[in-house]
Structure 1
Amino acid sequence: VWVSMKTVFFPIVICVMLWYWRRVKLLLRSPTLLEYMLLALGCALTFLNLPLEYLTLTFDMPFMLLLSDIRQGVFYGVLLSFWLVFAGEHLMIQDGDQRNGLKCYWRHLSAVVVGCLSLFVFDMCERGVQLRNPFFSIWVSDVGAKLALSFIILAGVSAGFYLLFLTYMIWRVFMNINIKRCALPSMSSARRLHYEGVIYRFKFLMIATLLCASLTVIGFILGQVAEGQWKWDEDLEIETTSAFFTGVYGMWNIYIIALLCLYAPSHKKWPVENNDQNTGEEIEFARLSTESNEMLSLTAFARKTATD
């Protein structure tokens, strides 16, 4: 099932990503941080979708399990980093010259990097050694089993804290946008309708983000729990767990494809309005982007609150 899904999603994601980046490069400005992060997320998903399993039909690839774990780890790292930047860009975490860089997010992203490196080291302790000794297991010795179990518990707790922190950031984004909506009645009808439509779409996207993050964290914890010999065979629910993982994998692809489509510049032209009517709102929304990307214009709309 996974190989067939990878075969279907791999060319689709590549086509959508190339279409997205082509529209971004058509703009007269340099890409924003959010656009770069979306491109990185699309590349990570493409790396995960690459159906390398077909090569095992011809070649002997004993490192396939390790490579699969590395690909999933890279995707986890980019996805978790993207969500932090995605929420932070709508909270005006960055200021001034740092507005289009990752420097202001180093505290958030360093925790993700440390967690991914820890997972990589833990994986190499078993998968890496199994390349030379296929019968090796870290769960055989008492010390190894205790260390592995402690690491799994710590990883699950860390994933739970990440989800709580991301939920808090998304809640702040909602509060930020609700406060700024008070300025909509003073705007012209065309621009007010424009922002109201984008806000409704954005709220739906943020709820989908929170749902996707919740299922991802649950899937990660279930994946860690399923590892190891301390879970007895009679307690395993392979059908349920496999179905859940397959659903989460499909959700990742649909979610990221939707992001690439929604944040792709549309190159729409704003309607020409009376200059006197626009004067007040141009002062109020001086930093608002009236360019091609509707969702990025909402990013500027949300960030304006912190500036005020």
Structure 2
Amino acid sequence: MAGTVLENLSNRKLFVLTSTLLICQVVCFLIGGLIAPAPSRATWMLGTKCLDKEANRSKWTYPRGAGRCPQISELEHDLHANQIVFSFQIPFVKENVVLDFSRWQQNLIGILQLEIHYSKETPVQDGAMLMLDTRLAYRNKWDKDSDWKLYAESMEERTLECDIEEEKEGHTYHCGLIPLFELGSLHHDFYLLNIRIPDADGHEYNRGIGMLKDLNLVTIHQNGGFTKVWLSLKTVFTPIVLAVVIWYWRRVQAQARPAALLEKMILFLGCAIEFLNFPIEWLTLFIDMPYMLLLSDIRQGIFYAALLSFWLVFTGEHLMESTGHRNTLQTYWKHLSAVAFGCLSLFLFDLCERGAHVANPFYSLWATPFGTRLALALIIAAGISASLYFVFLSWMVWRVFRNISSKRTALPAMSEARRLHYQGIIYRFKFLMVATLTCAAMTVIGFILGQVTEDKWKWDGDVEIEYTSAFYTGVYGMWNIYTMALLSLYAPSHKRWPPERDPYASTNSGAEEIEFSRLDADTSEISALASFAKKVAAD
């Protein structure tokens, strides 16, 4: 019986392989926790109120450099709303040093926070509609201070959600954050944001927004140091995983039978992780790729679909129930349809959100109450679905363990050599199933963590540990290590068991050998463990 490498590898070699993979896993966590900084950084800036007497919308107003705009300390009642421009020159000045963006920082998200004071004459109305005339420009280091080029412009509506503890003159409202823009790439050194709040002039918008005093902008970008660590991991894993995939598929093609379903699913998983690994992000250092966030989400979605589908087939193929539909996708069409529907729903949601940012970075699904409720509902539903999937997978693994335990009653009737052989296979398989559940749990936690706001936690002491970075790099390394372990351990083995008849076998061992030889003729079978279970079930 040929079986797989997992079933025929010596204990010493298996220990060396497992130890190496575990060391690599620990290294991935340590790289993220001790070397990489936090995945992202948020900075806050108070907008500069510029005066534009001509109310020329096409004119750029900026607070720094030659030709900077005249500034207003306080909003005056005799000024028309169209003459006031809230200007943000990004990145901000830090300790009198003019900073510039690096392409390593990958992306930029802008969020507005309004400072509104209470006035009895102009209170904030519930659900007031705020209209923002937004324009975004860019320039580089070698450009003049006034050489701003248009990046995007849009008239955007946002809904105000404000409350106040005590309605007293001069007190400040507590207003919710307003998502403003998202850039999929940072290809330029400097950016300029001009925001005008046009007069209503008989329209429904910008009425009941209270006494606006200032606009604050919070910008969030990926840390360049984290990007370097992340791309380094991708660059290292890409050739290693590719070599293992090629080796695995050559082993499969060398067999005198068609590839089994489980072998095809392992190959699909290997190709999916390789597609995710390929460090296409290196191109963003030379090419402006505003669609990179969408492309990254698509690649990760394909890997999620491959991983979730593989786990269902992997556990299903090892349930070892006697059925004529094993080794075909028809058996799993209900489970795989649920996975495909969930991944497709998330893809459509991502396409509506980040896909629209490619054409208009100011668009946001969170801009309206309905869009906010829809987005939250989809994210919560995705988190619940992921948790239910993990529960279902745990139940399937429990069924596999129960079936194996029930079929172990046939072991005492076997020869000693064959009994020890199958006991070793069972212990190894159970260890792999536990590793599968661990990988599934970490994947679900990582998915949920990626959908919520990141917080930075630090350990008190001289050594700072970035837990979020450690989790990201650890889970990413775990995906690669788990896939390489499957490719290595579930490749067809060149060894055959047993090479000759056991001279110390019992008198019925000859019939046992004939029975196992008949089972080996099944061209769709790759696991000796499954063959063993099928034989017991047949008896």
TM-score (norm 2): 0.53
Matches within 5 A, 1:117-266: 117-226=344-453, 236-237=455-456, 239-266=466-493
What do the CA deviations read for 1:238-257 (whole angstroms, capped 9, x no partner)?
74323212111101111111
Give the C-alpha shift of residue 38 in structure 1. Answer: 0.3
Task: Give the AA of the match of 1:79.
Answer: L
Per the alignment, do residues 9 and 75 of structure 1 end up closer, same or farther by CA in structure 2, a change over 3 Å counting?
same
Q: Distance in 2 between matches of 1:51 and 1:120?
A: 21
Per the alignment, do residues 302 and 94 of structure 1 end up closer, same or farther by CA in structure 2, a change over 3 Å counting?
closer
Q: Distance in 2 between matches of 1:282 and 1:50?
A: 47
Corresponding residue number in structure 1 for 2:318: 90
What do the CA deviations read for 1:85-139 (whole angstroms, capped 9, x no partner)?
000001146722x322101100110000000000100100111000001122211
Larger Rg: 2
Selected match of 2:239 from 2, 7, 11:
11
Selected match of 1:281 from 512, 516, 521:
512
Matches within 5 A, 1:14-93: 14-92=242-320
Task: Give the AA of the match of 1:145.
Answer: T
Per the alignment, do residues 6 and 302 of structure 1 end up closer, same or farther by CA in structure 2, a change over 3 Å counting?
farther
Is contact 1:264-1:293 (8 Å) kept?
no
Equivalent position SS for 1:139: helix
What do the CA deviations read for 1:54-107 (whole angstroms, capped 9, x no partner)?
1111111111100000000000001000000000001146722x3221011001
Q: Distance in 1 between matches of 2:301 and 2:378?
A: 16
**Larger strand share, 1 or 2:** 2
Q: Distance in 1 between matches of 2:243 and 2:517?
A: 36
Q: Distance in 2 between matches of 1:267 and 1:188?
A: 23
Per the alignment, do residues 303 and 65 of structure 1 end up closer, same or farther by CA in structure 2, a change over 3 Å counting?
farther
Equivalent position SS for 2:326: helix
Per the alignment, do residues 185 and 294 of structure 1 end up closer, same or farther by CA in structure 2, a change over 3 Å counting?
farther
Q: Distance in 2 between matches of 1:251 and 1:287?
A: 39
Q: Distance in 2 between matches of 1:307 and 1:144?
A: 57
Task: Give the AA of the match of 1:163.
Answer: F
Give the C-alpha shift of residue 260 in structure 1. Answer: 0.7
Per the alignment, do residues 94 and 114 of structure 1 end up closer, same or farther by CA in structure 2, a change over 3 Å counting?
farther
Per the alignment, do residues 69 and 94 of structure 1 end up closer, same or farther by CA in structure 2, a change over 3 Å counting?
farther
Selected match of 1:109 from 330, 336, 339:
336
Q: Distance in 2 between matches of 1:213 and 1:93?
A: 24
Per the alignment, do residues 265 and 21 of structure 1 end up closer, same or farther by CA in structure 2, a change over 3 Å counting?
same
Corresponding residue number in structure 2 for 1:296: 527
Q: Which runs of 4+ in 1 moved over 3 A?
A: 274-277, 282-295, 302-308
Q: Distance in 2 between matches of 1:89 and 1:34?
A: 7
What do the CA deviations read for 1:31-58 (whole angstroms, capped 9, x no partner)?
1100000000000000000000111111
Per the alignment, do residues 94 and 135 of structure 1 end up closer, same or farther by CA in structure 2, a change over 3 Å counting?
farther
Q: Distance in 2 between matches of 1:289 and 1:237?
A: 55
Per the alignment, do residues 103 and 306 of structure 1 end up closer, same or farther by CA in structure 2, a change over 3 Å counting?
farther
CA RMSD of aligned residues (A): 2.4
Give the C-alpha shift of residue 182 in structure 1. Answer: 1.3
Give the C-alpha shift of residue 192 in structure 1. Answer: 1.7
Task: Give the AA of the match of 2:485.
Answer: A
Per the alignment, do residues 281 and 102 of structure 1 end up closer, same or farther by CA in structure 2, a change over 3 Å counting?
same
Is contact 1:262-1:295 (8 Å) kept?
no
Give the C-alpha shift of residue 278 in structure 1. Answer: 2.6
Is contact 1:160-1:217 (8 Å) kept?
yes
- Of 60-69 and 240-249, more deviation after overlay is shown by 240-249
TM-score (norm 1): 0.90
Per the alignment, do residues 110 and 291 of structure 1 end up closer, same or farther by CA in structure 2, a change over 3 Å counting?
closer
Task: Give the AA of the match of 2:254.
Answer: L
What do the CA deviations read for 1:147-206 (whole angstroms, capped 9, x no partner)?
000111111111111000000000010011111111112112222222111111111100
Equivalent position SS for 1:27: coil
Is contact 2:327-2:524 (8 Å) kept?
no
Is contact 1:10-1:49 (8 Å) kept?
yes
Is contact 2:260-2:524 (8 Å) kept?
no
What do the CA deviations read for 1:244-293 (whole angstroms, capped 9, x no partner)?
12111101111111111111112103221159543343476576448999
Q: Distance in 1 between matches of 2:407 and 2:519?
A: 12
Per the alignment, do residues 290 and 171 of structure 1 end up closer, same or farther by CA in structure 2, a change over 3 Å counting?
farther
Per the alignment, do residues 193 and 40 of structure 1 end up closer, same or farther by CA in structure 2, a change over 3 Å counting?
same
Question: How many residues end up aligned between the 2 structures?
Answer: 299
Is contact 2:320-2:403 (8 Å) kept?
no
**Identity, % of aligned positions:** 63
Structure 1 unmatched ranges of 5 or more: 227-234
Alignment of 1:271 with 2:499, yes or no, is: yes
Per the alignment, do residues 75 and 307 of structure 1 end up closer, same or farther by CA in structure 2, a change over 3 Å counting?
farther
Is contact 1:24-1:264 (8 Å) kept?
yes
Q: Distance in 2 between matches of 1:294 and 1:306?
A: 15
Q: Distance in 2 between matches of 1:194 and 1:2?
A: 42
Give the C-alpha shift of residue 2 in structure 1. Answer: 1.4
Structure 2 unmatched ranges of 5 or more: 1-228, 458-465
